[in-house]
Structure 1
Amino acid sequence: MTSTGLLDGKRILVAGVTMDSSIGFATAKVAQEQGATVLISNFGRALGITRRIAKRLPVEPPVLELDVTDPDHLAALPDAVREHVDGLDGVVHSIAYGNPETLLGGKFLDGPWDDVAQALHVSAYSLKALAVATRPLLSPGSSVVGLTFDATVAWPVYDWMGVAKAGLESCARYLARDLGPEGIRVNLVSAGPLKTLAAKAIPGFEDLEALWETKAPLGWDNADHVPTAKAVCALLSDFFPATTGEIVHVDGGFHAMGA
């Protein structure tokens, strides 16, 4: 019997891959291992880094330049994708940013609006922007998956990024409503704290991740991105055909525990 991967024949865009320590990179790797054809994206100064780390994937993927806050980039995205594949079966939104000097690490009451607006644009609104930009490439059965960090409570040091993630989670529900009639699913994966480039930029992040050491019933390895990547790939697959507007927690069970 010939073994098949969970994503055999799928064409997947993973938007927001910078370092090989990122969730996006881990997702691209697992997706390739499961049979998908993968494209990745980044922009600006990080684009060169992305092109270098793309060589570390099992199959070097095309690297697209995509700033999800740039209308011109979004408008050009379908043609850029079609240079490599004739459509998409899945889109991964692995994108977030908040100025760590003004919005994180206990600065909630002082966060200036311009920086808050940027965080909301990059981290929440861009899910809608990316979904709409790739909509011409998606067909019934396609899947959009984003990454969040539980926004139902207020966390130490996370501050305005928590607000941005709450916006992302609400955005995903409305996208699920509006894209569902086209057969497009929209879901999020809520991961526990992981050692990524973004996490390193959060002042006091170690205080946040320390909470998982004693409260996650399955335990939690903050250096292991694979469980999160596998959940993303499962949602990209055909194994969740009637699931949309959902948030799947990959956090060792932390979210379900009390004090």
Structure 2
Amino acid sequence: MGILEGKNILVAGVTMNTSIGYVVAKIAQEEGANVVVSNFGRAMSLTNRVIKKLDPVPPLIELDVTDEEHLARLPEQLGEHMDHLDGIVHSIAFANPETALGGKFMSTPWEDVGPAVQVSAYSLVSLTRAVQPMLAEKSSVVGLTFDASFSWPAYDWMGVAKAALESTNRYLARYMGPEGVRSNLVAAGPLDTLAKKAIPGAEAFNEVWGERAPLGWNSKDAEPTARAVVALLSDWFPATTGEIIHVDGGLHAMGA
């Protein structure tokens, strides 16, 4: 019996088979979960292709976390596949690579900062709120971050958005805790996802991790990160909330 046996999980933000969300969905299924995945717009066609590699093929629903109509109909869409929800995986982030990333920090207009914060941080709350009536007691919300304790080259306003996400996680833990709902984040090292490839200069992260991570780091292997997410979705962390679990080969704990 797997650690997610019989649990209903929404994995929001699956695009490619290199996506952390995709690997989470795969391992969650292997651990017995009933999984639904989401994406929106043109990316839906990519998601539809890659999820055919999963067994069983999970239902795919359209969800733009900035669209109030999408959020309002989410419980109805999920209700076609499950009668309650035990876990949410927030694998969603966005910042305009032309203006908000790659060293353009000082010139980024608010018109591009606002959406980065809304999609990457505020949506942790808007998504949870949308499905709140469906959340079972002892359910779990898990998001993904890239350690926002520091400024990183080229990460710019995405780094600010991740700092907002980390604070949002703590407040979500405060307000959802009385309902028996946990909220935690996994801080992954750099992984060669579609999102990372959109960041100008992001390849430098691999060099840093290659030199400084005491356990070493494989930027092509999302499984360690996905396993941490699945563990937090399970009942094995019943009293852990508001936490950030680092899966980065240990680099976060190292000095110069």
Name the TM-score, length of structure 1 as normaliser.
0.98
Q: CA deviation at 1:49?
A: 1.2
Instruction: Name 1:203's counterpart in structure 2.
Output: 200
CA RMSD in angstroms comes to 0.6
Instruction: Name 2:174's counterpart in structure 1.
Output: 177
Instruction: Name 1:162's counterpart in structure 2.
Output: 159
Structure 2 SS opposite 1:235? helix
Unaligned 5+ segments in structure 2 are none
Mapped partners of 1:217, 1:59: distance in 2: 37
Instruction: Name 2:34's counterpart in structure 1.
Output: 37
Structure 2 SS opposite 1:199? helix
Q: CA deviation at 1:39?
A: 0.3
Q: CA deviation at 1:210?
A: 1.2
Contact 1:157 1:208 in 2 (8 A): no
Instruction: Name 1:94's counterpart in structure 2.
Output: 91
Match for 1:24: what amino acid?
G
Mapped partners of 2:50, 2:218: distance in 1: 23
Match for 1:105: what amino acid?
G
Count of aligned pairs between the two proteins: 256
Structure 2 SS opposite 1:51? helix
Runs of 4+ aligned structure 1 residues displaced above 6 Å come to none
Whether 1:215 and 2:212 are equivalent positions in the alignment is yes
Instruction: Name 1:119's counterpart in structure 2.
Output: 116
CA deviation map 1:110-138 (0-9, x unaligned): 11110000100110000000010111110
Unaligned 5+ segments in structure 1 are none
Whether 1:244 and 2:245 are equivalent positions in the alignment is no
Instruction: Name 2:100's counterpart in structure 1.
Output: 103
Name the TM-score, length of structure 2 as normaliser.
0.99
Mapped partners of 2:161, 2:127: distance in 1: 16
Match for 1:130: what amino acid?
L
Mapped partners of 2:49, 2:154: distance in 1: 32
Match for 2:232: what amino acid?
L
Q: CA deviation at 1:48?
A: 1.3
Structure 1 SS opposite 2:119? helix
**Equivalent in 119, 122, 130 of residue 133 of structure 1:** 130
Structure 1 SS opposite 2:246? strand
**Equivalent in 77, 80, 83 of residue 83 of structure 1:** 80
Q: CA deviation at 1:22?
A: 0.2
